[in-house]
Amino acid sequence: MLTESTTLLILGGGPGGYVAAIRAAQLGIATVLIEGESLGGTCLNVGCIPSKALIHVADEFDKTRHFAANSPLGISVQSPVIDIAKTVQWKDGVVAKLTSGVALLLKKAGARVIKGFARIVDGKTVEVKPADGGDPWRIHCEHLLLATGSVATALPNLPFGGNVISSTEALSPATLPKRLVVVGAGYIGLELGIVYRKLGVEVAIVEAQPRLLPAYDEELTKPVAASLRQLGIEAHTGCTVRGLNAAGNAVRIRNLAGEERELPADRVLVAVGRKPRTEGWGLETLGLTMNGNAVQIDSQCRTSMRNVWAIGDLTGEPMLAHRAMAQGEMVAELIAGKRREFVPAAIPAVCYTDPEIVVVGLSPHEAEAAGLDIIHAHFPFAANGRSLTLESSSGFVRVVARRDNHLILGWQAVGRGVAELAAAFAQSLEMGACLEDVAHTIHAHPTLGEAVQETALRALGQAIHV
């Protein structure tokens, strides 16, 4: 068996793994990255990027249908149709462009990429089986970085297969079903449910919790719930899934009162979450300390074994690509001898529903639960000129700050296009900004960002436009 050695060996070429490889190579560290499938991981191939591509297509198609129904903008078109095969082809083209770009960046930095499947022998040795079926070989390393990501969670009574699909299959449909049932009303389920509805599919969503998007506070989710009703999406909250009916063409659900009913379905999307990818590559041989089903790490992404590191979804929540990227960059710099620690003031999270939701830092409830004396305020997009020109008046921006010194603790927003406010929100927390810092910064007019300034002004009792 052939053997070779390297300083840093990375398992997984997703956002965390490839960023770690690029940064390490830039710093002169001999780096090998092993990826069995496509570079970019779940996010780039079957997650963040393709879902946003389909969201864009669905929005554009929905607009044209709106224009075909006597739009108040004075635009009219003939009744539009969707060619889903061409849509998927375009989406795949976007993904291919980005994955090839990642490969070029890795090559430019000097990181070696091996397409194959890894199995850990010990903390310093990994056996690699090439994806092309060639003979396996062993790679020895000084540092081992685990970045294997996550997988979709299945339901015992609704296993994947046939017409029961995960988000992966939902992002590459060969055809559009007439009726789709989505199990799980988190951000993945709602994003894809809205996409399919805008493409003309009848959609029903089932959620075990009492309301949609249970990870977000109710004030933020109300505009989304209203949008679902306007789109004609059925929402069945407080209901558990019992499985398919005998014919396999309907989902059996039960509400809190014990009443059962069937929801007709040509296709069923199970989107009840994701779990760390811990199986199939020999993780158990290391005997690492675990945190539930995730690998436990410290503030430098070190595991319980010396020179074995872990980043991204493998280490649990929040399972966000940008968290993994930041962790990967940090680990590379630590290995290079730099002083780093992963202690972000906040990690932004965006839900690309219609309307979008963005949260950074603490909500009012979270701050109060932590025993903090706070002030909070919100500014409605109904009073924002740019929002009205986008035919959108629902939603708001909300800020949370300490009462004594006005230090900003958190931002939340719901509305059209608010995802682009995430950078300003996160930056204000990282820089330790106070309400006055934001309120006295001149914001461009007319922009959605003005709502950020207006929210800070309102928290200070100096509201101008509301």
Active-site residues: which are they? 445
CA–CA distance, 217 with 219 (Å, rounded to integer): 6
**Peptide bond preceding 355 in cis form (omega within 30 of 0):** yes
- As a dihedral over the C-alpha atoms of residue 158, residue 164, residue 169, residue 170, rounded to 10 degrees, the angle is -100
Beta pairing partners, 139: 4, 126
CA–CA distance, 438 with 424 (Å, rounded to integer): 10
Alpha-helical segments (H) within 340-463: 364-369, 385-389, 422-430, 435-439, 450-459
- 276 by Cβ neighbours in 10 Å (0-12 / 13-18 / 19+) ranks as buried
Positive/negative CA dihedral, 382, 394, 427, 23 = negative
* Spatial contact of 276 and 303, defined as CB atoms under 8 Å apart: no
- 194 by Cβ neighbours in 10 Å (0-12 / 13-18 / 19+) ranks as buried
CA–CA distance, 435 with 402 (Å, rounded to integer): 9
Long-range contacts of 294-299 (CB under 8 A, 24+ apart): 295/146, 299/341, 299/342, 299/343
State phi, psi for 421 to the nearest 5 degrees.
-85, -10
Residues in the chain, overall count: 466
Query: 3-class SS at 195?
Result: helix
Direct distance between the N- and C-terminal alpha carbons of the chain, in angstroms, rounded to an integer: 72
DSSP-assigned letters across all residues of 146-161: E---EEEPPBTTB-SB
Q: How many CB atoms lie within 10 A of CB 289?
A: 11
* Spatial contact of 210 and 177, defined as CB atoms under 8 Å apart: no
**Which residues does 391 contact at the CB level (< 8 Å), separation at least 6?**
73
**Which residues does 451 contact at the CB level (< 8 Å), separation at least 6?**
379, 381, 384, 387, 396, 397, 413
Amino acid symbol at 218: E
Report DSSP state, residue 17: H
CA–CA distance, 133 with 141 (Å, rounded to integer): 23
